[in-house]
Chains A and B, each alone.
Chain A
Amino acid sequence: MEPTLLGRIGYAFVSLFVITNYGLLLIGSMARISAKVQGRVGQPVWQPYIDIIKSSAKRNAIGHGVMFYLGPVFRLAGGIGTYMFIPAVFGSVVFRNFSDSGDLLLVMYFIFFGQLGMALGAGEGGHPYSAIGVSRGLAQMTAFEVPFALSVIAVAVQYGTLDINAIVAAQQGGFARWTLATNPLAVVAAIIAFLGMSGHNPFSVVIAPQEIPIGPPTEYQSNLLGMLQTNRAIFNGAKLVLYMNLFFGGATNIVAMVIKTFLIYFVNVFVGQAFPRFRTDQSIRFFLGVPTLIGIASVIIAVI
């Protein structure tokens, strides 16, 4: 039964609530896993919540202008919007979100919405480190989008559609039907791109903490920072759900979603803990090298 518009909005809020909490817990637990790798106990799993509360509770704030204030708004709206355009759980009315706004291409491009707004806001901050960070981030982005685009094309070719629901539907029926099994090269290319997308090592030069104190958001504080932290959780969740849908058979329930996205994100942390940092030009050349070839190979496989 098709829910009413009001119902859909209600469901969207539920969905958003779930992904926010899940995203925060995911970040917390990954921090804890990282700590274990380093032989530490690590922060509490709920530390991200506390951090956000603290940031939002700052008694004063500074701003550099309208765009500076709007930057986090764009960023958070970009994160939520991206999530809203992805069906999170296959077959679920609640987690369908507003995925009827557009297909995979809409999601891929809406990712830029928040990044662009954030970059503009950081730019109005007037801090050169922000601009340097943005320049690095954008430069890397152009490079990792290539293997990502290729693997998305491979998926689209393989399933003959760009509709995320249809892609998930095509992967139902067991592990053997997942893209991971049918076109592993596409998954490899996409996962490598994901490393760049999430800015973990070795692609973390964008936010080099001491050189350009964490890059773009260097001037952000208080509630503005709190919004960025919130977005990090939601946006991560959205991207993970997207990956799950494209390559790992989607999810038919929340539990499956949690497990799968956790594992996908774990790859990130795993690599991030093991590798040092690339310079910007190195990562550009890296992404346009082997990962791109893998991506092309995956398209060829899909065509055949």
Chain B
Amino acid sequence: MSDKRLKPAPLANEGLPPEERGLFCDAAPREYEPARGAWENFLNWARSESLWLLGFGTGCGAIELRPLMTSRFDMYRYGIQPRPTPRQSSVFVIGGYASVKTLKRIVRSYEQMMGPKFVVALGSCTINGGMYWDSYNTIKRIDQYIPVDVYIAGCMPRPEALLAGFQELKRIIKAGDGEGQNEYARNFDWYKANQKKVIKDWNMPDYNW
């Protein structure tokens, strides 16, 4: 059932020293066609009912993720559970303001997730920089760097707000609108340029498979 679309040209990986280029895959990301009709609806239902969170604490808001596992909020009942590796996760929760250093890790981890993949950005800082809007070291809008499906505003948003955000994400997925991965691939050059603009010590391949 592989996609018939033509493969894009390999990436240049100019950020890497020549002797290291052989160590990384240089394939460019591409868009993947969704299945059709009811089948895709069924699969989207399954995706929405099995949200595996990438539990990387990328900002101060990550502290609000922890209560979700506790008996009080119990995200498991919504089919949400944490996963320690991006390979197996489907939802990336951006936990608040992202410093430039963290952004590099965010990009890498996001690219390493298997699609379809979704991003939930929590906290005002991910939307416009929040109280750090004029900081030299934080990025202001996370969706200039990776596609975001759901923003959860607040500083900090309560766990209840997070749960509400996840419900919103489920709705989006079920509606078939959770196509961030394809969007990223489609606008890859734009995203990459934005990323490289702020990340100066680029020592990764252009796309982290």
Contacts and interface: CB of A to CB of B under 8 A. Distances in A.
Interface stretch (B5-13, B43-51, B126-134, B158-166): B43-51
A43 B84 CA distance: 19
A47 interface: yes
B76 A35 contact: yes
Contacts of A220: 87-88
Interface in A174-189: none
Interface string A202-244: 0000000110011000111110010000000000000000000
Contact of A40 (B77, B79, B88, B114): B77
Contacts of A53: 43, 46, 50
* Count class of interface residues, chain A: 20 to 34
A50 B49 CA distance: 7
B88 A221 contact: yes
* Count class of interface residues, chain B: 20 to 34
B115 interface: yes
Interface residues of A: mostly helix, strand, loop or mixed?
A: loop
Most A Cβ at <10 Å: residue of B43, B46, B209: B46
A42 interface: yes
Given A59-B32, A210-B84, A222 B114 contact: yes
14 contacts: A40-B74, A43-B81, A44-B77, A44-B79, A50-B46, A54-B46, A58-B116, A59-B115, A59-B116, A62-B209, A218-B84, A219-B85, A221-B114, A225-B88
Interface of B: 32, 34, 43, 46-47, 49-50, 52, 70-71, 74, 76-77, 79, 81, 84-85, 87-88, 90, 114-116, 181, 209
Interface of A: 31, 35, 38-44, 47, 50-51, 53-54, 57-62, 209-210, 213-214, 218-222, 225
